[in-house]
Structure 1
Amino acid sequence: MAETPTIGWIGLGKMGLPISSRIAAVGRDIAGYDRDQERIAQAASGGVKPAATLAEAAGRDMVFTSLPDDRALKAVALDGDLFAAMRKGAILVETSTVSPGISAEVARAADGHGVAYLRAPVSGNAAIAHTGNLTCFVSGPRAAFETLLPVAQDFTRAQKYLGEAEEARYAKLSVNLMIAVSAAMMGESIVLARKGNLGWQDILDVLTNSAVGSPMVHYKAKSLETRDFNSTFSCRQMAKDLDLIVGAGHAAEMALPLATLTREIYGALIGRGEGETDFIATVRLAEWLAGLGEPDLDTNDGRLA
């Protein structure tokens, strides 16, 4: 493979668009494809070469995919023409959050076509993807990882190699399980404090300045100060990931009671019309279950508005 590989990017959605544009901004030769022509045009405005077909994007040295779920990955990699269009000796870098099962199927197909397959799910959200502050977990052939590393450093601040098989998939699901359960706990904690007559800002200050003040708590407390529930990662997306987590647990013959309960919380949010709201809308569900309305932010009131 060339010292500076040509890059193809398939899937220019919430994550794929800003990441591919960032790669283009550092001067790399990258061509992008999406079924949505408007997304291709947006990527082109950021320096990504438009690919007229999936095969055109796939016929490069290193091909990234950024797809929404197992079904989309199956359609592209197993039922579609991805591997037929890829060069022997090329590297496929799959960045999506998908199940270990479908990923293992893709690995077998890649091996059959002489393609090195890297599982490289990214951690972070679309709001920070353009900043280069994502992280990625990678598993697959070590030599392919070494080739990927300079490119990964263009759009991530940390890269962790974990092994030859599906280790990166389990790492991403483990991280997302912690995020989901933390969001559920945060919702209940805030509402318990409101029931105890704490002001809205007061309980946020308590959480961020206590032993539980993790980076996620700080990050979400900032948006909760103004009750900003615009989605960085939606309740529906979190429910999808929890389905993957519970499925992976069942396949590993282990119980995941917290994951299962948290999935029901997100199911309730979706049922209440909050599917496209940010995943921290767990606060809203907890308020509803507690019989509370929205607080009056102008008075720092934790009681009914």
Structure 2
Amino acid sequence: MAKLAFLGLGVMGYPMAGHLQAAGHDVCVYNRTTAKAGKWTAQHGGRSAATPREAAEGAEFVMACVGNDDDLRSVCQGADGAFAGMRKGAIFVDHTTVSSRVTAELYDQARSSGLGFVDAPVSGGQAGAENGQLSIMCGGDEADYAAAEPVIQIYAKLCRRIGESGAGQLTKMCNQIAIAGLVQGLAEALHFAEKAGLDGRAVVEVISQGAAGSWQMANRYQTMLDDKWNHGFAVDWMRKDLGICLDTADETGASLPVTALVDQFYKDVQKMGGGRWDTSSLFARLRKLG
């Protein structure tokens, strides 16, 4: 049993922290909305804290899954931040999807304070978090990763160190780039099938067994055809992630024309009032266009 802290109880963090407590660890949670922390402790046991620093005090590992760069800085830095409460040798594991810039900043700060820092963004969505079946891509020092891996594996289907600090975030960018193109391709295929007078379900039953098959097709085509979007990974979050991808591409010289285009399609979905819809709502945009 390890003493752990978990910062951020959103749709991903809430079940991830629950898996840690269920595995027998001593978990203290922090959430900006205290009612959410109270709900978690009522359901899972464990403890809650009023600040990230308080949650992190005495913890061997501090996990975080918050919203963006600024949210991550707010739970790490300052007098009430987790870094101020962590003991030397403790390891901070960041599951947030953020820029490699803030990862470099916090890694350096952690190292200078005698702390470990592993960037470990996740893929698999809410269902993956609830079922403990996330794919987790990590960057950081080998020793820190090796120490943290057994804890991370509790909610992982696959956990792998890709390279030095920042490699996890860069890999997550690859993940989001690939998803953007896949979802748009699936949306266009279903749109084309409808316009051609085909049964979309029958079409997917056939093509999903060939080279066109994907996780997105298997898990999203039915809700797309049923015009259901109140689940999964939100468009607002995807635009945040794609913005990170495009900014990093400008820095590295990578060419991402499809990603840039799909990002604008998601902007259209936001204008339709779909900021909190699942990313598969690209299909709703095509239906609106006729």
TM-score w.r.t. length of structure 2? 0.94
1:3-82 maps to which residues of 2 (within 5 A)? 4-44=1-41, 45-59=43-57, 60-79=59-78, 81-82=81-82
CA distance in 1, matches of 2:46, 2:227: 36
Distance 1:155 1:266 in 2: 30
Q: Which stretches of structure 1, 4 residues or more, deviate above 6 A after TM superposition?
A: none
User: Aligned AA for 1:58?
Assistant: A
Q: CA deviation at 1:226?
A: 3.3
Q: Secondary structure at the match of 2:92?
A: strand
Shift of 1:66: 0.8
Q: Percent identity?
A: 28
State how 1:1-305 maps to structure 2 within 5 Å: 4-44=1-41, 45-59=43-57, 60-79=59-78, 81-289=81-289, 291=290
Q: Distance in 2 between matches of 1:35 and 1:285?
A: 34
1:202-251, Cα deviation, whole Å (9 max, x unpaired) = 33324323321112211112433533222210111111111011011111
State the AA in 1 paired with 2:45.
Answer: G
Paired residue type of 2:34 = Q
Q: Distance in 2 between matches of 1:206 and 1:87?
A: 56
**What is the distance in 2 between the residues matched to 1:226 and 1:287?**
12
Structure 2: stretches of 5+ with no match in the other structure: none
Task: Decide whether the 8 Å contact of 1:20 with 1:48 is kept in 2.
Answer: no
**CA distance in structure 2 between the aligned counterparts of 1:128 and 1:38, rounded to whole angstroms:** 24
Counterpart CA distance in 1 for 2:112 and 2:240 is 30
Alpha-carbon contact 1:207-1:217 (below 8 Å) kept: no
Structure 1: any 5+ residue segments left out of the alignment?
Answer: 292-305
Q: Within 1, Cα distance between the matches of 2:183 and 2:157?
A: 24
Aligned letter for 1:22? Answer: H
Q: Give the secondary-structure state (helix, strand or coil) at the position aligned to 2:131.
A: coil
Q: How far apart are the structure 2 equivalents of 1:24 and 1:18?
A: 10
Paired residues in the alignment total 287
Distance 2:123 2:161 in 1: 14
Residue of structure 2 equivalent to 1:300:
none
**Which deviates the most, 97-106 or 248-257?**
248-257
Alignment check: 8 A CA contact 2:249 2:255 kept: yes
Equivalent-residue separation in structure 1 for 2:182 and 2:12 (angstroms): 23
Counterpart-to-counterpart distance in 1, 2:53 and 2:246: 34
- For the Cα contact (< 8 Å) 1:21–1:48, is it kept in 2? no
Q: Which has the larger radius of gyration?
A: 1
Q: TM-score, normalised by structure 1?
A: 0.90
Task: Determine helix, strand or coil for the equivalent of 1:165.
Answer: coil
The answer as to whether partners of 2:7 and 2:75 remain within 8 angstroms in 1 is no
For residues 259 and 225 of structure 1, what CA distance do their matches in structure 2 show? 24
RMSD, matched Cα? 1.5
User: Taking structure 1 as reference, are residues 229 and 83 closer, same or farther at Cα in structure 2, changes over 3 Å only?
Assistant: same
Match of 2:51, as an amino acid? T
In the alignment, residue 16 of structure 2 is paired with which amino acid? I
- Secondary structure (helix, strand or coil) at the match of 1:96 reads coil
Q: Which amino acid aligns with 1:260?
A: A
SS of the equivalent of 1:13 reads coil
